[in-house]
């Protein structure tokens, strides 16, 4: 979440990160996060947690197969 401002876990400003910049990602499931997250952040209703352990996206069959292998 490099492009977002955080204060004690609360997201003050939310901006979707550029693809592949290596920064933190958001784990919002809905495809509407670009619309919803900035609004609820501005309302003080969006919180964040920096998960520093293993995390792998599972959007495709290939992702699922990779996760099953490991």
* Residue spans per domain, the chain: 5-69
Asked if residue 8 has pLDDT above 70, the reply is yes
Given a cut of 50, is residue 1 above it in pLDDT?
no
Q: What is the H or E stretch that residue 37 is in? A: helix 33-42
| pLDDT tens, position by position, 21-60 | 666 666 666 667 778 888 888 899 988 888 888 888 888 9
- What does the pLDDT read at residue 36? 84
**Where is average pLDDT lowest: 2-6, 7-11, 65-69?**
2-6
Residues in CB range of 38: below 8 A, 6 or more apart = 13, 14, 15
Name which of 10, 2, 8, 16 is nearest 43 in CA terms: 10
Give the pTM: 0.54
Torsions phi, psi of 35, nearest 5?
Answer: -95, -50
């Amino acid at each position: 979440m490099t492009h977002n401002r955080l204060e004690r876990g609360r997201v003050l400003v939310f901006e979707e990160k550029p693809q592949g910049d290596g920064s933190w990602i958001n784990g919002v499931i809905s495809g509407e996060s670009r619309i919803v997250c900035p609004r609820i952040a501005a309302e003080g209703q969006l919180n964040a947690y920096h998960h520093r352990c293993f995390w792998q996206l599972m959007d495709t069959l290939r992702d699922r197969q990779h996760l099953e292998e490991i």
